[in-house]
Amino acid sequence: MPGKAAVQYIHNSACESAAQASCHCFCHGAGHQNDLVVRAAKCGTTADFAALEADLEGIFGGFHASFRDVTTPTRGARRVLDPADAASTGHAVGRGATWYETLIVDESLHTLFLQVATTSQAASRGDRNAREAFVERITSGAISVVGSATPVATLADSHVWCSIVSEYLAGLLARTQASPLPPVFDDICYPRLKLGRRPGALPRVQTAGLAHLAAESAVSSLTGSVQEELMRLVAAATCPDLWHHPAVVRFAIQPVVTASTWSPAHSTTIVTAADVQQLERRWARNHHW
């Protein structure tokens, strides 16, 4: 991040290839992991897929055999359980709960990337071009919309863009489902935390961000279901840490994990709808869902 004496309001392009579960760029998350999102959205060959798969493994680690598996490589920012304790540590509280919760969100996002890439491989060249253009326009416009002179001082401040995309996805879901929507989409907290934090910049850019997504959706030649799939990946991938953002998990991850197509081959074998529902219950206990 630039120092105070520097120009603070320029998007750091390194954010677009971020590999850690945190981001402190002045785009407020809009460009986070965009490089990977674009590669998944336009993936066209087995060589493209293999290269993306290898890079994702370098970021997220491998897919674990069970929640007791602590030998498979894990996302670098995570605290791995001690092998001596892994077999007996519970997953309801403390470090065992943290391990269980972070493994769910990390393997879900890892799988979502591969699922989008697989869908892209099956698409026509024209559709792949449209998918790439859709993601690129969303991101470039988002960086302009949500970038501001507000310093990114805390984790919550980096969750502006993924909050906006989650709200937009919730609006799409509300057209077909009658379940009540949460009062806010920017409550930032891990599943067992009582009090969350909220990004201060969101109210100033929320309306413009939602309008930007609606405008890009209206001019895209992609079907609504394809747009929704790509927006889910954008929401989840631009989120600095899904473990801290219940709205993104609810509207970008849960619909994918509960679908009949979950999970694709050569991806997570441990994350199920029941696991995401466990996260839902934990967040809901403190009214964060």
Contact indicator for 78, 106 with CB cutoff of 8 Å: yes
- Structural domain contains residue 19: no
Is residue 24 one of the residues assigned to a domain?
no
Number of domains comprising the chain = 1
Tens-level pLDDT at each residue, the chain (289 residues): 333 333 344 445 555 555 554 555 556 667 668 899 999 999 999 999 999 999 999 999 999 999 999 999 999 889 899 999 999 999 999 999 999 999 999 999 999 999 999 999 999 999 999 999 999 999 989 988 887 655 666 778 889 999 999 999 999 988 888 788 999 999 999 999 999 999 988 998 999 999 999 999 999 999 999 999 999 999 999 998 999 999 999 999 999 999 999 999 899 999 999 999 999 999 999 999 9
Q: What are the tens digits of pLDDT across the range 194-247?
A: 999 999 889 989 999 999 999 999 999 999 999 999 999 999 999 989 999 999
Q: Which residues partner with 279 through β-bridges?
A: none
pLDDT of residue 8: 40
Cβ–Cβ < 8 Å for 107, 60: yes
Helix axis angle, 94-121 to 273-285, nearest 10°: 130
Classify residue 254: in a domain, yes or no.
Answer: yes
Residue at 9 is within a domain:
no
Domain membership flag for residue 58: yes
Pick from 190, 198, 188, 192: nearest CA to 286: 192
Q: Which domain holds residue 134?
A: 30-285
DSSP 129: H
14 located within any domain? no
* pLDDT score of 27: 62
Q: Is residue 84 part of a domain?
A: yes
What pLDDT, on a 0 to 100 scale, did the predictor assign at position 3?
Answer: 39
Spell out the long-range contacts of 230-234 with Cβ–Cβ below 8 A and sequence spacing 24 or more: 230/41, 230/116, 230/131, 230/134, 230/135, 231/138, 231/165, 231/168, 231/169, 232/112, 232/169, 232/256, 233/37, 233/40, 233/41, 233/112, 233/113, 233/116, 234/37, 234/135, 234/138, 234/139, 234/165
Q: Which among 130, 106, 157, 146 is positioned nearest to 229, based on CA atoms?
A: 130
Asked if residue 33 lies in contact with residue 21, where contact means CB atoms within 8 angstroms, the answer is no
pLDDT of residue 208: 95
What is d(CA 70, CA 102) in angstroms, rounded to the nearest whole number? Answer: 13
The predicted pLDDT at position 67 comes to: 96
Residue 25 included in any domain: no
